[in-house]
């Protein structure tokens, strides 16, 4: 496999205890257990709300890291797909009986279900995304998430830090539970964009590969040294260019959806009880003012569920 190589000087950082366990994930679990039952929300409503709470909003616009423009607002999963999520998908599709996956699953020890799933090919990742009603990010969308409209050099900002992402400097040489690094998240709330595992994209960025049959993976991993997302001076990116059938122990995936399509499709599932409105308001507030034009547009559509207006009201706070 022809993988991009990283050369740097190793700096050892003491292994952390799980950092602060993802606040966002904890809020989702709390909402599942404590929120819905008293408000008459059924399982389908709970599932739809919990999924929404695990998404971050990435607005359309210029992406300085690629000197290009993302045309559509997108929603991105805050966390990389986990082993438990991937194992469930394999069981539902029968892929767990495949020789490759039977052998791989045997190495996934108890207590690692919240580690990022890896060793999935890009083709398998795309199949999983479709089954969940999502897709893989384009390379440009991934850069919009990671570097933002400010053109950040790292997911968290422009300042290098060796202790806020699971890269080779951290010295663990294995994945960690998704969301373990609160200080390494993006301003929008996406975790492990840098480190833990590389993340498949659905294409290659212009200039990285002439062969359209290849795919990019971005973000680095626990087996690679920390590097900036891209270089200001030259068109250089910290990325792998891989065949879509490739597998590696440190390549995984996160999912995206076009925000306009997803929100319109899902809005009727979120319910209109007091507890649902409270949760929707918090999501809208987290999406922020950048989401307001889209949310107002959707809320004004004929037949729009009231939940979209609640989201918009939250974004106005």
Give the pLDDT confidence score for residue 212 in this predicted structure: 75
Contact residues for 48 (Cβ-Cβ < 8 A; gap 6+): 266, 269, 270
**Distance in angstroms (rounded) separating the CA atoms of residues 37 and 211:** 52
Which fold, 23-257? 3.90.1580
253 vs 32, residue with greater confidence: 253
The tally of CA atoms less than 13 A away on the side-chain side of residue 237 is 26
Specify the range with the lowest mean pLDDT, choosing from 17-21, 83-87, 156-160, 312-316: 17-21
What mean pLDDT comes out for the span 282-311? 98
**Distance in angstroms (rounded) separating the CA atoms of residues 6 and 219:** 12
Write the DSSP symbol of residue 35: I
245: phi then psi, degrees, rounded to nearest 5: -90, 0
77: phi then psi, degrees, rounded to nearest 5: -65, 135
**Distance in angstroms (rounded) separating the CA atoms of residues 172 and 178:** 15
Per the CB < 8 A criterion, the answer to whether 58 and 188 are in contact is yes
Give the pLDDT confidence score for residue 205 in this predicted structure: 86
Per the CB < 8 A criterion, the answer to whether 48 and 205 are in contact is no
**Distance in angstroms (rounded) separating the CA atoms of residues 111 and 113:** 6
118 confidence band (pLDDT: 50, 70, 90): very high
Give the pLDDT confidence score for residue 198 in this predicted structure: 98
Give the pLDDT confidence score for residue 19 in this predicted structure: 41
Tokens 């207006």: give the residue.
309
Give the pLDDT confidence score for residue 65 in this predicted structure: 94
pTM, full prediction: 0.87
112 confidence band (pLDDT: 50, 70, 90): very high
268 confidence band (pLDDT: 50, 70, 90): very high
The answer, yes or no, to whether residue 9 has pLDDT greater than 80, is no
Q: Encode pLDDT of 52-61 as tens digits.
A: 999 999 999 9
**Distance in angstroms (rounded) separating the CA atoms of residues 5 and 228:** 14
Q: What is the DSSP code string of 68-93?
A: EEE-S-EEEESSPPBHHHHHHHHHHH
7 confidence band (pLDDT: 50, 70, 90): very low
Which of 103, 95, 148, 141 minimizes the C-alpha distance to 254?
Answer: 141
What mean pLDDT comes out for the span 76-93? 97
Strand order, beta sheet including 74-77: 55-58, 74-77, 256-258
Specify the range with the lowest mean pLDDT, choosing from 39-43, 152-156, 161-165: 39-43
What tokens does 8 get?
A: 């740097």
Give the pLDDT confidence score for residue 41 in this predicted structure: 62
Delimit the domains of the chain by residue range: 23-257, 270-315
What tokens does 14 get?
A: 């003491």
What mean pLDDT comes out for the span 231-246? 89
The answer, yes or no, to whether residue 177 has pLDDT greater than 80, is yes
209 confidence band (pLDDT: 50, 70, 90): low
What tokens does 248 get?
A: 């590696």
Cα 13 to the center of its chain, rounded Å:
25
14 confidence band (pLDDT: 50, 70, 90): very low
Give the pLDDT confidence score for residue 192 in this predicted structure: 98
Handedness of CA 142, 146, 150, 151 (dihedral sign): negative
**Distance in angstroms (rounded) separating the CA atoms of residues 48 and 40:** 14
Give the pLDDT confidence score for residue 34 in this predicted structure: 43
**Distance in angstroms (rounded) separating the CA atoms of residues 242 and 72:** 26
Tokens 């050099």: give the residue.
153
Q: Encode pLDDT of 18-39 as tens digits.
A: 443 434 444 443 344 444 444 5
Give the pLDDT confidence score for residue 57 in this predicted structure: 98
């Amino acid at each position: 496999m022809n993988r991009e190589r990283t050369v740097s000087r190793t700096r050892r950082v003491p292994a952390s205890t799980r950092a602060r366990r993802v606040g966002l994930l904890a809020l989702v679990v709390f909402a599942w257990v404590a929120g819905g039952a008293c408000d008459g929300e059924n399982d389908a409503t709970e599932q739809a709300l919990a999924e929404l709470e695990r998404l971050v909003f990435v607005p359309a616009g210029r992406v300085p890291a690629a000197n290009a423009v993302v045309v559509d607002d997108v929603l991105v999963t805050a966390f990389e797909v986990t082993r438990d999520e991937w194992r469930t998908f394999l069981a539902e599709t029968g892929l767990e009986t495949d020789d490759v996956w039977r052998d791989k699953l045997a190495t996934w020890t108890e207590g690692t279900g919240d580690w990022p799933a890896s060793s999935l090919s890009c083709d398998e990742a795309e199949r999983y995304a479709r089954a969940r009603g999502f897709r893989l990010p384009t390379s440009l969308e991934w850069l919009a998430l990671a570097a933002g409209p400010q053109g950040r050099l790292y997911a968290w900002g422009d300042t290098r830090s060796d202790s806020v992402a699971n890269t080779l400097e951290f010295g663990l040489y294995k994945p960690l539970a998704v969301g373990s690094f609160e200080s390494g998240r993006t301003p929008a709330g996406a975790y492990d964009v840098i480190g833990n595992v590389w993340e498949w994209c659905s294409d290659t960025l212009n200039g990285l590969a002439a062969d359209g049959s290849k795919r990019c993976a971005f973000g680095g991993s626990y087996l690679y040294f920390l590097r900036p997302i891209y270089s200001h001076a030259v068109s250089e990116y910290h990325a792998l260019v891989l065949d879509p059938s490739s597998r590696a122990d440190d390549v995984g995936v996160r999912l995206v959806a076009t925000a306009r399509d997803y929100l319109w499709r899902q809005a009727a599932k979120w319910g209109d009880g007091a507890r649902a409105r409270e949760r929707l308001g918090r999501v809208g507030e987290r999406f922020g003012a950048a989401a307001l034009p889209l949310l107002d547009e959707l809320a004004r559509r004929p037949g729009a569920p009231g939940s979209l207006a609640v989201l918009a009201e939250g974004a106005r706070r």
